Amino acid sequence: MYKLLIALLALQILALTAGKDALADPTAQVIVSPDGALRAIIIPVDRNAGFIGSESRVEIRKSDRELLSAASYASSDGEHGLGVMKGQWTPDSQFFVYNTSSSGGHQPYHSPTFFYSRRSNRIRNIEELTHSMVLDQSPFEIVAPHSVTVVCIAKYDGSLDGVMILANLETGAVSTLSMTKYPAR
């Protein structure tokens, strides 16, 4: 009986230490989907850990902590990766959208924006849909139930001309909403 109790205690300790994950990181940001079934976890992974814009890892997990998908934006030197600036679920809980910024200040006008699709269990760059670079002058906005607006570069000729694009994350359909002119940096 004594050996059985020790074995059970050892198994419990092993289970507790093996279960450590991003949710145990005090600097991680957890964003729960509207339906409560999924969690997007943004984990700072560089020397500026805990600061907005520090290089990040994004994990999508079920509420029981099972890892569904992950993407790391860390670089070996801490200056060539990406840090998550903002993350948000669509109201229908089918997509998690987040934008990033360069940790080293490279291409300060560029804001790579990614989305996780629940149906495909995949993280993709929204530029795959827009076929254009996303600018940082205007952060993304969610449009119910599963679309997002971003400002993309239209051309570069000493000034940034942007176009606001609406992308339906479910169908991949993209439409132009308006043109915007930005001053040269």
Q: Please report, in tens digits, the pLDDT of each residue of the chain (185 residues total).
A: 555 445 544 445 444 333 345 556 778 999 999 999 999 999 998 655 555 558 999 999 999 999 999 999 998 887 788 999 999 999 999 999 999 988 876 676 788 999 999 999 999 999 999 988 888 766 899 999 999 999 888 765 556 678 889 999 999 999 988 876 654 44
pTM for this predicted structure: 0.79
Residue 22 belongs to some domain of the structure: no
Q: How many domains does the chain have?
A: 1
What is the CB neighbour count within 10 angstroms for residue 2? 6
Residue 90 belongs to some domain of the structure: yes
User: What is the span of the domain harbouring residue 175?
Assistant: 27-182
Residue 59 belongs to some domain of the structure: yes
Residue 88 belongs to some domain of the structure: yes
